[in-house]
Amino acid sequence: MQKKWWHDKIAYQIYPKSFSDTDGDGIGDLRGIINKLDYLQELGVDILWLSPIFCSPLADQGYDISDYYNIDPRFGTMEDMEELIAKAREKNMYILMDLVVNHCSDEHIWFKEALKDPDGRYGKYFYIEEGKNGNPPCNWRSYFGGSAWEKISGTEKYYFHAFHKKQPDLNWENPEVRQEIYKMINWWLDKGLGGFRIDAIINIKKVLPFKDYAPDREDGMASIKTMLKEAEGIGEFLSEMKRETFEKYDAFTVGEVFDAKEEELPLFFGEDGYFSSIFEFGPALIGKSKDGWYDCKEVTVDKYKDTCFKSQKKAGKVGFWSNIIENHDEPRGVNEFLPEGDLSEAGKKLLAAVYFLQKGIPFIYQGQELGMENTVFHSIEEVDDISTKDEYQVALDAGYSEEEALRIVSKYSRDNARTPFQWSDAENAGFSSGKPWISLNPNYSSINAKEQTGREDSVFHFYRKLIALRKAEEYKEVFVYGEFVPVLPEKENFMAYLRKGQEKTILVAANFQRECVTIKLPVRCKKVLLNNDGEVKVQESAVTFGGYQVLVMEVEQTE
C-alpha cells in the first residue's frame, strides 16, 4: 500500500458555533479557535475539521450555505480564516473545511435567480419540476420530515430538497454546476487547506426521472434512502471531482457515506478511491429504525463489538475508516455505547481506547476528550435542532405522550453534542461572556477542561496518552498499518483485539462491565503500555480485569 501523509494522523472535529466565543455574542468564532490551538496541540491532534463557517442563514447550522466564498460574519472574517490556516501550519496541523455541495441555501444567489426564472440558466442549477395534479412531482420524504418538494409560489412548479426546505439540492447532472463546485473547491485548496470533510455526498445522484416509491409510513411517502439504493453512476461524479480538485493537491478527504455496499468500499476509499477515507458509521447505526427515533433499540456492548469487528473485517486491507464515537449529528458516544448508569471516567477511557486503536484514522469530536455527556432537556422549546423537532412530532404521531416523546428525542438529539464546550467552571463554562446561543450542559462545573488538564488521571490526559502512544516511534507502524484481529469474540461484555504489525503485536483488551473478570488470553504479555484504572494483574497469559478496566499491551509476536 502506498503511504500517504494522513495515514498516521489524528483528527479533531470543531463545531465552531459551540467551541469558543471571543466577541461575547454567544456564538463561537474563528478567533476562539485560534486562541485554543495551544490546547489542541497539547492534546496532540493533527487535523482540525471545522463544521461549516461559510455565510449562511443557519437554518441547519451552516449546512445551508449562501456564499461559498465568504466567512459568515458571526464566525469572523477571511483574514481570521487565513490566520487560522497559517497558525495551524506552524504547529504542523492541517485544516479541513466542510464541503456541503449536495445542496446550498435558498438564500444563495443561484437559487434566488432560479426562483425569478425557473426555466432559465439558474433554474437548471436545481431540480425544478412541474407538480402532478396539484401534488409534488413524487412522494419522497425529506430527511428532516415532510415532502422533499416545496412549491414555488405563484407557479405549479416545485423544487427538490433532500434536507430542509431552505436547502435546495444542486443539480449535479448539469456540467456547469459541477464546474462551479470544482472551481470553488480549488479556490479554497489554494488557500492552503489540508482537505475537506464531504457532507451528505451520497445524495448527489438521483434516480431520474423522478418517480414514486412504495410508501413506508402512513404519510404515504417513501424514504430517500429507498431511491438511493437504486441510484447508479455516482462514481462518475465522484471520480471527476477528485480528478479536477483534491488529487491535484494531495488533499485529505473524508466522505460522509452511509450504507456503502461492501463490494463498493474499494471504490470509495481503496487506494484509488474517490475519497481518502470514509466515516465508519456502523456503531452509530446500531438499533436505528426506519420508523423514527421512538423505535430505536438499545445498544449493547456485544452489538457494539460485533459491529466494530465486522467493519474492521470489511475494510481489511482495502483502506482506512475514519473512526468515531460521536459527531455533531449524534448523541455523546459515552451515553450511546456505555451501559446506562455506568458513565464513570474509567468507562469513558475504556471506550476511548477500544475505538481509538482500531485500524483507521481516529476522529475526536470536541469535548469528547473530556468525556462530555448528553445534556438534559426540560421541554421541547429548549431544542434548537430541526431534526429533533421533526422526530418529536413523529413520536407524537405514533401515539407517544409529550413527556414520552421528549424522553425519546432527548436520547438521540443532535443538540446533545452541540452544547457549548466546557472550558472551565466559570460563568458560561468559560465559553462566552455573553448568553450562549444554546443552553450549557449543567454538569460543566464538574466536567471541564481546566480541571482535567490539571489532573493527571483525567479523561483528557488519557486521550493525550492514547495519541502519544499511537505516535510513538516504536509503535507507529503497528497502530497505523497493523492487521486487526479479533480476540475471544464470543466472550460477553469483553472486547479484545490484536494489532499485528511487521515487528510488533499489540493487544487491546477491555472489560466492558462493572464486574471483575479473569480471562485466559491466547497471547503472552511482554509489556503493559496503557492502563485506564486500577491495578494491573497479569500472570503469564491470565489477566484479571477490574470493572471497566482496559489494558493495552505489547504481546509476544506470533504467527
Name the residues that contact ligand GLC, by CB under 6 A.
60, 63, 100, 163, 199-200, 256, 328-329
Q: Secondary structure of 184-253 in the HEC alphabet?
A: HHHHHHCCCCCEEEECCHHHCCCCCCCCCCCCCCCCCCEEHHHHHHHCCCHHHHHHHHHHHCHHHHCCEE
Nearest distance, CB of residue 328 and ligand GLC, angstroms:
6
Q: Are 459 and 369 in contact (CB under 8 A)?
A: yes
Nearest distance, CB of residue 255 and ligand GLC, angstroms:
11
Residue with cell string 485500524:
359
Nearest distance, CB of residue 163 and ligand GLC, angstroms:
4
Q: Are 269 and 275 in contact (CB under 8 A)?
A: yes
Residue with cell string 459551540:
18
What is the enclosing helix (H) or strand (E) of 160? strand 157-160
Strand segments, DSSP code E, in 435-523 are 483-487, 494-500, 505-511, 517-520
Indicate the residue among 111 and 462 with the shorter CB distance to ligand GLC.
111
The residues with which 531 forms a beta bridge, in sequence order, are 551
Distance of CA 229 to the CA centre of its chain: 22
Indicate the residue among 59 and 189 with the shorter CB distance to ligand GLC.
59
Scored b (16 or more CB within 10 A) or e, 236-256 reads: ebbebbbebbbeebebbbbbb
Distance of CA 301 to the CA centre of its chain: 21
The long-range contacts involving 145-152, CB below 8 angstroms and separated by at least 24 positions, are 145/387, 145/390, 145/393, 145/394, 146/390, 147/221, 148/224, 152/115, 152/118, 152/128
Residue with cell string 442563514:
57
Q: Which residue is nearest to ligand GLC (CB)?
A: 63
Hey, how many other C-beta atoms are within 10 angstroms of the C-beta on 288?
15
Alpha carbons 192 and 218: distance in angstroms, whole number: 49
Indicate the residue among 288 and 514 with the shorter CB distance to ligand GLC.
288
Cβ-based burial of 260 (10 A; exposed 0-12, middle 13-18, buried ≥19)? middle
φ, ψ for residue 37, nearest 5 deg: -60, -35
Indicate the residue among 143 and 481 with the shorter CB distance to ligand GLC.
143
Indicate the residue among 40 and 100 with the shorter CB distance to ligand GLC.
100
φ, ψ for residue 545, nearest 5 deg: -100, 135
Nearest distance, CB of residue 60 and ligand GLC, angstroms:
5
Helix axis angle, 459-471 relative to 345-356, nearest 10°? 20
Alpha carbons 315 and 326: distance in angstroms, whole number: 20
Non-local (6+) Cβ contacts of 216 within 8 A are 222, 223, 226, 290
Of the listed 46, 60, 80, 199, which one is catalytic?
A: 199
Indicate the residue among 330 and 533 with the shorter CB distance to ligand GLC.
330
Nearest distance, CB of residue 387 and ligand GLC, angstroms:
7
Indicate the residue among 237 and 258 with the shorter CB distance to ligand GLC.
258
Establish whether 256 is a catalytic residue.
yes
Residue with cell string 485560534:
34
Of the listed 98, 106, 256, 373, which one is catalytic?
A: 256
From the list 3, 21, 36, 30, the residue with the least C-alpha distance to 369 is 36
Nearest distance, CB of residue 104 and ligand GLC, angstroms:
10
Helix (H, G, I), strand (E, B) or coil at 14: strand
Nearest distance, CB of residue 275 and ligand GLC, angstroms:
15
Count of alpha carbons within 13 angstroms of residue 85, beta-carbon side: 15
Residue with cell string 479479533:
486
Q: 200's torsion region: left (phi>0), alpha (psi -120 to 50) or beta?
A: left
What is the enclosing helix (H) or strand (E) of 169? none
φ, ψ for residue 9, nearest 5 deg: -95, 160
From the list 118, 122, 128, the residue with the least C-alpha distance to 108 is 122
Catalytic residue numbers?
A: 199, 256
